Structure 1
């Protein structure tokens, strides 16, 4: 954005011109001069008056834009209050000062946004309670994430610290006509700070006070060739000890840690006033002991009071395990020996070229991204060598977008373009079994048959050193054309309309192999019971199954009228439709069973703007969203099954979310901003009569009716209250600062089948900080203390129901209290 002159200078210029006009008027009235210079005086008066009016208008526009929050929600820079979309915005100062680094952090500051982040592959981002609910690599997200104009095709690409950001925008409601595929519920849009032609640098160091931690973030930008080529380089390091202790003396260590680093390099080439090329390369890695499930409960009975025959606890109570007591109900300890650090890598590059040819701006966005994920988990989380499992995922994405922006007439402007993307994933689900697996996985009858010294050897031989690998290889190609136009009907009324057509081709294959880890063939143990234990856990191998290919098209559309009630107040409404593409999928036994596309229809009505001399900035909106064929685990009719139903990844017929959202900021005086907002979200399954029942139901209940129940992971009430304060102490050059943010979520169920054990109670999360700021010699230095989860609240964002082999697991436990000392310098 071009720098604008200060209002005082513009006002002085306008007054000078007005004075000149007055002098010309007086001169023209003098008889000696008037007879000869009437025409000249009149011309001077008219010109001066026109100049004065123009300068005054420029001053007013400068003031309006100078105080405005500018967003790129519609791929162009606009004032927030002029965009007829419900948007939450986090600026660079808030992101930096409050340590907003991850999607989980952002979810504490934007109404309607929730995030589940147990690991990269199982990351789920939801708006209004609706989003991706499965770790299946064939499925795509319904809430899009865009970083520097590049759409991220795999949700795991969001699992990283984002630093050196200019802004984050959270757009609620379908955004599919302009902002890419699979954005039927909304978009999170990240914008990095751009290279600068003037020197600019920052360095921040952070040390843990409540527990050992070290974080560093820095950036530097300058011109390589004046007014032609600039660069920007940034990095981050994020290390913190885990808050869960491994009690196994043979392994020990702390888990639930942070161990992350990464960087970004950018080049900005501006060879002419109307052309720019921005090149970006970035890399981020996590390598941390983090993927654990502290177990909360292992019920002994079902909901009808009947006793469970085989449980996690009864398996470990067998004499083979010598009276071992598993860790149940602890937030702070685990007892494992099989897990390895979880590794995630995200890296890629992009080239963004912008050419302004006058009546038309052309923008090309070429990008490639790669994602790597390697999980090796202790499946049953004991100190015995039972089962090690996890998925190895590699993903490659290539994309090309070409946009055209211009004006048809003085009252109609448009954007149009094409979008191409290819994403290919290779996913390997792996299970490896140790010598204690047979004694754990045997049924009670099988264990009783082999519960002798000789039998224990057969129990060990049944599974020791064996493995099972299931490979899937989904490929998706997508092509889209889109257009959106704004028609200014009057000075205050505008109609926005858009349409997008997307065509996709999808394929996938699945293969399961079993064998021994050393590559040797499986041979019989010589005992039928031991062989039966092996067969149950290794499942049946099968050769490559080619999935049923998808070649389908879909439309996204938008009708969005708005009316400016005042210069800084906008009333808007919208009706829109979009969707999320289907998936080539398989049942666990390799049977082909595709998942149908989701279809979303959304209605919004809102008002936004600034009031009371721009003391109050607000955005309030009502919404009603319907989703058909929601992709999730559900029951389907299956005549081959004994119960008549099979539980598979499929489609829930219908759900809807409706409610009200508020996002506002109050600035009662210079130096203090109070942020407040929240949401009431009535999100229910409007048609889910054949739901898979939770494990707590007896097997005689083959299907459950969840119609009318609140959607998984959707708190009905959310509240956000925060503040930022900065005030100089006299004229000392020393300033005090303080900030805080509190987020409230009402109780909600986090288990995918709405298990009674899946409830997360209502809770508050509070972050806060304070310190001093000095500015000496052009260097701004900040020294302070920052705290996350100040009151050390225990909470989780994901719950796994119990099974015959596992208790209820809380695998999305949030970080415990973190208090740090922070030093930051910038110029």
Structure 2
């Protein structure tokens, strides 16, 4: 049987694009790579190696759904964040307004709700370490060997249970041969400065080597702040690095020690207001709105900015701080009949947001959450062969995560005039009473503190049986035990910590009470002691040397959460259970000039974790809205990836997805704000799920033209299309994002010297300056519809890179 390969091209980069391995998700993946040596035959493909199953394998022979993007393509296209990655893999979407509210989904399923109690359903694993808080993914990932995107439940092998899929990052490893690379980038249409570099070499002969890498990423934001405080928002201001030490005292023993950090301090966390509806969906006029509040004479005819993609007015916001750092040690020992691996890791996440709540020049309100998370993990793996047809992996996984989270609301002297009801405002809007209006909320500080803690232990195993020369069967099983606890407390004080005292006026006190609520706690939640099982049945058949057929059935579970309602009463969230079926084909065509991978899938999720209405006997309507469980949803679809080697210097990539993802049982959904308050619940059964475009298409090209003795002209591009989809978590009519496309292009010249390579490129992202968002917040009686996931606008830059 001949080996799978990827397209060859005389470039310094090697691109592994979307190599889809089918674990049953109808995703067709493509393996694409480019090598520095020109092709010597008509075969334009070369093998792509992945570690999706914790061992090195050819991507085209792994019968699980994988898309692979190589480190060189990531660098060429400057794909550094999870949001960037979504433009290279069909079915993958992400919302990244900030670290805490980052949401990653596969086939539209899996986004989070900005709640620190919740675990990600799409796991992110970096150098074999599972990231337990979704905010740990909010960083630039650089100096990578590859990224693998896996569809469907992955809990039988990878980290903690991931009920819907996983993204696996692999950093470039230390080398005993000296390697140096650097890259400088400057913006043409807006100020920016970006730098990335790495160096690796031996420290002690062929026994100890190191690799050091660092990055700096600064770019002016898309939104001009018209406030006197000035500046631009939605900027990038981040830096970080990684240091690895590789110790190989013998051929059978390897120790890799890793320390890394990524830090941001940037004006990025805003949600431009787009529309403030005058009426509800029944035609009734909204009595008090954001706009009518600012129409009060207290604000002197001020016109808040609504509907602008370019301007914002904020004075109370502060730069968003996000810190991610950690260390790990991976020990691998070939002990004869078995391979033993130990992965020990600790990670920390710090998040500090101070947002201008109403986004005006007035001192109304600042809000934001302070989060500190620490996680510890230990994994032991054992792998070996029973005989020439049967191999196995088994192991033990220990995980602890402890989060301290405090939501904060601070009110300024203009808050009383804004939050007062119309009658309260009229009562205090006099020359003598205005000081009371201001005193009602001035310097009031409201906090809600929680401390979710989770411990888990898992045993796992997977066996591969080579039934015949062409037929294989993979079986996997994982048993997890979990213990979870949490407590909550709510307090309202003044900023200096002193207790609130009456203003001496009943109306002013009522304005305050409406915003602060009632203190409670600390209360302990209802502790969770639970266990779960993940399983996989995965047959495959090598029809011939160029065609692999596969199918799979798998199940996974996302843990429940110890949670509370708005009054501090226990309101736990049930586990989320997924069941997934896949059928696919992976193939080479036309003398291996084309790689074509196709998948179809059926995914069913029960008790999907999301905001919903649940029965509440204390509520006047009998229901209350909170983070809970949607009874059921399902996704049915197909995906493909194709790589076409037109010549050894011109390569095309094509991929696409059709995703029919609907709520099959959500009859008691919380209604969007456009419904009258008299309507207790709405039915969303049969509707397309939030954040799930029905159609996605991606096309790219890479073309090189040699000239002169050592020069090559390089042209490349990428195009993405997504059909319309709703981005508001309760499917508000104002959450609809129309279909849109994004186009990135680049062109440059490369010079290859005897010992080094230099390349100068001009790159452009979002060439046609498409306006779009990846997240929508519905309106309320104190805020318009907000787009808190606005995508980056057009950017043109010049990049100089070298490797030697």
Give the TM-score of the pair, scaled to structure 1: 0.92
Report the equivalent of 2:49.
Answer: 70
Structure 2 CA distance for aligned equivalents of residues 389 and 519 of structure 1: 17
Structure 2 CA distance for aligned equivalents of residues 71 and 753 of structure 1: 38
Structure 2 CA distance for aligned equivalents of residues 413 and 622 of structure 1: 28
Contact 1:81/1:568 (<8 A) preserved: no
Report the equivalent of 2:718.
Answer: 741
Contact 1:141/1:182 (<8 A) preserved: no
Q: Does 1:242 align with 2:221?
A: yes
Which residue among 702, 709, 712 is the counterpart of 1:732?
709
Report the equivalent of 2:383.
Answer: 405
Match runs of 1:101-500 below 5 Å: 101-249=80-228, 251-500=229-478
Report the equivalent of 1:779.
Answer: 756
Deviation at 1:543, TM superposition (A): 2.1
Contact 1:632/1:649 (<8 A) preserved: yes
Structure 1 CA distance for aligned equivalents of residues 498 and 113 of structure 2: 34
Deviation at 1:780, TM superposition (A): 0.4
SS of match in other structure, 1:179? coil
Q: Does 1:690 align with 2:689?
A: no
Contact 2:43/2:593 (<8 A) preserved: no
Structure 2 CA distance for aligned equivalents of residues 569 and 105 of structure 1: 31
Structure 1 CA distance for aligned equivalents of residues 44 and 370 of structure 2: 49
Match runs of 1:591-740 below 5 Å: 591-729=569-707, 731-740=708-717
SS of match in other structure, 1:537? helix
SS of match in other structure, 1:453? coil
Report the equivalent of 1:17.
Answer: none
Structure 2 CA distance for aligned equivalents of residues 582 and 520 of structure 1: 37
Structure 1 CA distance for aligned equivalents of residues 446 and 107 of structure 2: 38
Structure 1 CA distance for aligned equivalents of residues 651 and 378 of structure 2: 40
Contact 2:416/2:441 (<8 A) preserved: yes
Deviation at 1:409, TM superposition (A): 1.0
Q: Does 1:100 align with 2:82?
A: no
SS of match in other structure, 1:669? coil
SS of match in other structure, 1:156? helix
SS of match in other structure, 1:163? coil
Which residue among 739, 743, 757 is the counterpart of 1:762?
739
Q: Compare the two structures and name the one with the higher helix fraction.
A: 1
Q: Does 1:518 align with 2:500?
A: no
Structure 1 segments (4+ residues) deviating >6 Å = 62-66
Task: For residues 544-590 of structure 1, give each alpha carbon's deviation from its aligned partner in whole angstroms, at most 9, with x where no partner exists.
Answer: 01000001000000000000011232100000011100000001110
SS of match in other structure, 2:646? strand
SS of match in other structure, 1:130? coil
Report the equivalent of 2:60.
Answer: 81
Contact 2:110/2:121 (<8 A) preserved: yes
Structure 2 CA distance for aligned equivalents of residues 374 and 133 of structure 1: 19
Structure 1 CA distance for aligned equivalents of residues 391 and 546 of structure 2: 21
SS of match in other structure, 1:446? helix
Contact 1:472/1:510 (<8 A) preserved: yes
Does 744-753 or 773-782 show the bigger shift? 773-782
Structure 1 CA distance for aligned equivalents of residues 338 and 45 of structure 2: 26
Task: For residues 7-42 of structure 1, give each alpha carbon's deviation from its aligned partner in whole angstroms, at most 9, with x where no partner exists.
Answer: xxxxxxxxxxxxxxxxxxxxxxxxxxxxxxxxxxxx
Deviation at 1:671, TM superposition (A): 1.6
Structure 2 CA distance for aligned equivalents of residues 497 and 551 of structure 1: 27
Structure 1 CA distance for aligned equivalents of residues 52 and 643 of structure 2: 19
Task: For residues 186-210 of structure 1, give each alpha carbon's deviation from its aligned partner in whole angstroms, at most 9, with x where no partner exists.
Answer: 1100000000000000010000001
Structure 2 CA distance for aligned equivalents of residues 542 and 64 of structure 1: 70
Structure 1 CA distance for aligned equivalents of residues 517 and 461 of structure 2: 50
Kindly indicate whether structure 1 or structure 2 has the higher relative contact order, using CA contacts under 8 Å at least 6 residues apart.
2
Report the equivalent of 1:11.
Answer: none
Deviation at 1:777, TM superposition (A): 2.6
Report the equivalent of 2:480.
Answer: 502
Structure 1 CA distance for aligned equivalents of residues 725 and 245 of structure 2: 46
SS of match in other structure, 1:265? strand
Structure 2 CA distance for aligned equivalents of residues 629 and 65 of structure 1: 47
Contact 1:635/1:645 (<8 A) preserved: yes
Report the equivalent of 1:54.
Answer: none
SS of match in other structure, 1:375? strand
Task: For residues 312-371 of structure 1, give each alpha carbon's deviation from its aligned partner in whole angstroms, at most 9, with x where no partner exists.
Answer: 000111011011111010000011110000000000010000001121100100000000
Q: Structure 1 unaligned segments of length 5 or more: list them.
A: 1-61
Deviation at 1:372, TM superposition (A): 0.3
Structure 1 CA distance for aligned equivalents of residues 201 and 546 of structure 2: 36
Q: Structure 2 unaligned segments of length 5 or more: list them.
A: 1-40
Deviation at 1:605, TM superposition (A): 0.1
Contact 1:81/1:610 (<8 A) preserved: no
Does 135-144 or 665-674 show the bigger shift? 665-674
Q: Does 1:753 align with 2:730?
A: yes
SS of match in other structure, 2:645? strand
Deviation at 1:701, TM superposition (A): 1.3
Deviation at 1:637, TM superposition (A): 1.3
Contact 2:42/2:591 (<8 A) preserved: no
Deviation at 1:65, TM superposition (A): 13
Q: 1:560 to 1:464 in 2, by over 3 A?
A: same
Which residue among 797, 800, 804 is the counterpart of 1:820?
797
Structure 1 CA distance for aligned equivalents of residues 497 and 449 of structure 2: 17
Structure 1 CA distance for aligned equivalents of residues 234 and 785 of structure 2: 18
Deviation at 1:252, TM superposition (A): 1.4
Does 470-479 or 769-778 show the bigger shift? 769-778
What is the aligned-residue RMSD (CA, Å)?
1.2
